Amino acid sequence: MKKSVILLILLVLVLFTAGCDEKTPQNSISSEVNMEKSVIAITQLEQLNTSLQKTPVFVKIGSRWCPECRSLKPVLDELAVEYQGKATIAAIDADKNPELAEYFNTMYIPDSFVIVGIENGTYVYMQENGNVSTDRSKARFVGRNDTDEEMFKKVLDLSLIQQKKADASDTKY
């Protein structure tokens, strides 16, 4: 009886220590990918301006307390992966950066838009119909609905087309 108790204890110890070897956590690979292709937190306009020198910038203004804003996080993460190197996906926390929310005249959140450039010191926005405008109210998506992901992709694709046209004609925004 004593031998079987000792054997049982040894068996349990072996099983516990076998589970303690160094394994890569399941989420570490995906978190490494997300680190490389993540949504950028914008805290100052200079970050937007720097990104605009390379690619169009999709911006979502929101807040942590907002359920609709939080529900957009997986959508933005997916866009960041899909548009890596082609467009910058960024988010502004309206609570942490109220001056930026005010700069963009944010009244409701989530408030999303795509900036394609700067013209005479004013941001140029991509509208849903493929036109560009310096009037953000014509190019913004307020709130959350089931077609957001499709709409965001459509506007990002239009902004990439616009960027190619601007590059070909050497137009500077």
pLDDT for 173 beyond 90: no
> What is residue 37's predicted lDDT score, i.e. its pLDDT?
60
Q: What is the pLDDT of residues 26-52, one digit of tens each?
A: 443 333 334 346 999 999 999 999 999
- Domains along the sequence of the chain with CATH: 38-168 (3.40.30.10)
pLDDT for 22 beyond 70: no
> What is residue 36's predicted lDDT score, i.e. its pLDDT?
47
> What is residue 148's predicted lDDT score, i.e. its pLDDT?
86
Can you give the pTM of this predicted structure? 0.76
Residue type for 138, please? K
> What is residue 172's predicted lDDT score, i.e. its pLDDT?
61
Q: How far is it, in rounded angstroms, from Cα 39 to Cα 89?
A: 5
Residue type for 69, please? C
